Structure 1
């Protein structure tokens, strides 16, 4: 059982979510659709798509998601994560609302401050200081929510403005804004303004999660928010196979043990799996063998703890 104080408040109160990341590859433009259909049929919750517009082999993330929506029935989509400096937030909010309308409420917005400054600058985007990047991201959250509320909002920020635009369409469901956050400023912003946190295991190792949860929770409480309302979705890479080693290269049992630990002891509430090879088979193994076992193990652990 976890040591006192190591489990985020959200861990026992948010329903677990499981999904996969598909590459926005132009080399095989049919591949994302095939993988999204596999994930949808297998009963996963989310399909995530990277947004790296400066990568010449990548399709545009939002355009790609628009093509995946009609190929699926129930699975939700999330950008993982949008490069804000290359996406004016009012237009980004318009695109997000459009995708939500077209999908029947199946779109969530993953946002980032811009983690590839050279690539962003190469496309004419701004080079921002870390402080300005976070400030611009915070303004973009406000802009997006105003654009989704309808009416004629006004907003005067240092980076972005709205001047009585006729906002709409109103999304059919409250679109979540999840932030790809690592540093303290971004974690604070996640706590005070976002609906979720999207860290990646290679950059945010498991042993660092409790301190980062605490930072998010403190910021949420200072803003008068309940930390338990904030999703914590972990991006995972690895391979499910007969042999391997921790953290996530090995048999199903290893995956089940690790994801259960990440949930019960380290406070995560969801997982996005990005297979490093054999993508279709890996998605099937994840959905059909790992996910049900993790759900059951987590439920059992919580019953034992009386939570």
Structure 2
């Protein structure tokens, strides 16, 4: 199948758990900060364990600024299309043109009927969806004269006024699998949104594209008018996603996850790698990629940045960007020992790749929570965070304690870092030392850095005690201590990943 030429978009699909509403919103905000293009939420109104997706979308729209929003997908039988058109247009206006409308026929008919909607056969459900799309588009067409009249079999509209007009041309994406739904997608929709776990194989994507393209041509449309989107059950290697884009036309990749580390890695590593592979393949023969300037880093960071891991490892250690917030240095990065470089021709099994990735996942968790801690301090300093808001933010953090204060969160973060390092010193490092004695100098240095970081944590504890007694006068001391922790911890985590990810892949956890 051809590459339809659409810009690539990367997205996260988050389960809207009603028991953890703050976490759901925080994950959407994280997806935006990480640089993803879209965030989506499944829509199952008949499941009381889930938030109402339409209410959630409005709330998330107000809590974000740039990321696009969509359901994944909305069951049309539970929402009359004329009302759905108004809701979608209103959300698009309020969000500044950031909403896309993904629809499906329903599927869970016992649950749908239990909520009072009429039970339809599969064929009737497709026909009802086709009617609904026509009504929705008519309601958005405020240039047409008069009201909307549609005497359908399943949906009837008798002169309802048109509008409001969306802020942008909302795309209508269909969750389709069977031939009749695929043909409807080709005739009327703007996007095809299946899930790879449900399809089973990429061959099914090719088969679906054939049906959609044929139906589009019969309707006088270009196949490229229909975006091809795909829900992913796991973060696939960039080369595989690039192949899906170039061979099957997929241009929107949505990772179904609630893991902050996966969201960040998908945005920071997978998305840029896929974009570069696709851009290189699309580039005309004889042309070269634009040259990017390399950011200057601290001396120790520059040495680390030059350390390359084998591509077959399937994971990239996080580089040290060299930025330092504090003038204090607790160690000399240039004296760090390094392990021997791995065999560049070695290939790693999926289990070995997962072993190496696990350390980065744990570290990403620490980085995320550190960023949230710094943000809390900034908000307190700026006077933009009151007690109620602070409680809400801290409640959304995964390392929270029962005492809803900034101090309690600082304490909990320090405890988590200490527990992580203690576990490495007591279990992980001895295991690697036995498996590969040549790693001893690196492991000794990492343990020394653990001790240095522990002293910084003690400094934060002292600054915290002073801050609680004098919030206005001691905030600078607390901020300085957290700046030093930020410099030291991020540098340490990067060094540890560069030295240990590959040995962990070979020797296991």
Distance apart, 1:177 and its partner CA: 0.4
In 1, Cα distance between the equivalents of 2:185 and 2:24?
A: 29
Bigger RCO of structures 1 and 2 (CA < 8 A, at least 6 apart): 1
Does 2:150 correspond to 1:155?
yes
Deviation at 1:121, TM superposition (A): 1.2
Task: Give the Å deviation of 1:267.
Answer: 2.0
* 256-265 or 290-299: bigger deviation: 256-265
Determine the C-alpha separation between the residues in 1 that align with 2:260 and 2:241.
20
In structure 2, C-alpha distance between the alignment counterparts of 1:118 and 1:304, rounded to whole Å: 53
Q: Residue in 2 aligned with 1:95?
A: 87
Q: Which residue of 2 aligns with 1:263?
A: 245
- The answer on 1:300 being equivalent to 2:292 is no
Q: Distance in 2 between matches of 1:143 and 1:219?
A: 21
1:119 lines up with 2:111 in the alignment = yes
Determine the C-alpha separation between the residues in 2 that align with 1:296 and 1:66.
34
Residue in 2 that maps onto 1:169: 164
Higher helix share goes to which structure?
2
2: CA distance between counterparts of 1:159 and 1:193?
18
Partner residue in 2 for 1:224: 220
Deviation (angstroms), 1:131: 1.0
Corresponding residue for 2:261?
A: 281
**2:242 and 2:277 in contact (8 A); partners too:** yes
User: For 1:86-112, what per-residue CA distance to the aligned partner results, in whole angstroms no more than 9, with x for missing partners?
Assistant: 111111111101100110111000000
- Deviations 1:162-216 (CA, angstroms, capped at 9, x unpaired): 2111122111101110000000000000000000000000111212111110100
**Structure 2 match to 1:206:** 202
The alignment's C-alpha RMSD in Å is 1.5
Give, in whole Å, the separation in 2 of the partners of 1:12 and 1:148: 27
3-state SS in 2 of match to 1:273:
strand
Deviation at 1:13, TM superposition (A): 1.6
Q: Any idea what SS the aligned residue of 1:265 has?
A: helix
8 Å contact from structure 2 (residues 42, 72) kept in 1: yes
Structure 2 match to 1:109: 101
Partner of 1:269, secondary structure, is strand
Q: Is the 8 A contact 2:35 2:267 kept in 1?
A: yes
Change beyond 3 A, Cα 1:158–1:198: same
| Cα distance in 1, alignment partners of residues 188 and 102 from structure 2 | 13
Counterpart CA distance in 1 for 2:139 and 2:86 is: 7
Please name the residue that 1:252 is paired with: none
Query: Paired residue for 2:133?
Result: 141
- Maintained 8 Å contact 1:14/1:229: no
Higher percent of residues as strand: 1
CA drift of 1:304 comes to 6.2
Q: Distance in 2 between matches of 1:37 and 1:100?
A: 18
Partner of 2:61: 69
Q: CA deviation at 1:56?
A: 1.4
Structure 1 gap segments, 5+ residues each: 1-6, 241-247, 249-254
Paired residues, number: 283
> In structure 1, what is the Cα distance between the partners aligned to 2:107 and 2:190?
20
Task: Tell me, yes or no, if the aligned pair for 1:210 and 1:267 is still in contact at 8 Å.
Answer: no
CA contact (8 A) 2:5 2:249 kept: no
Unpaired segments ≥5 residues, structure 2: 288-509
CA–CA separation in structure 2 for the residues paired with 1:21 and 1:171? 23
Is residue 16 of structure 2 the alignment partner of residue 24 of structure 1?
Answer: yes
TM-score, normalised via structure 1 length: 0.89
Residues 260-299 of structure 1 deviation map (CA, whole Å, 9 limit, x = unaligned): 1111122211111112x5x111100000000000000111
Q: Is the Cα contact below 8 Å between 2:39 and 2:69 reproduced in 1? A: yes
Q: Cα offset for 1:305?
A: 6.7
Q: Could you tell me which residue of structure 1 aligns to residue 464 of structure 2? A: none
Residues 128 and 154 in structure 2, CA contact (< 8 A), matched pair in contact too: yes
* CA distance in 1 between partners of 2:107 and 2:253 (Å): 21
What TM-score do the two structures reach when normalised by structure 2? 0.54
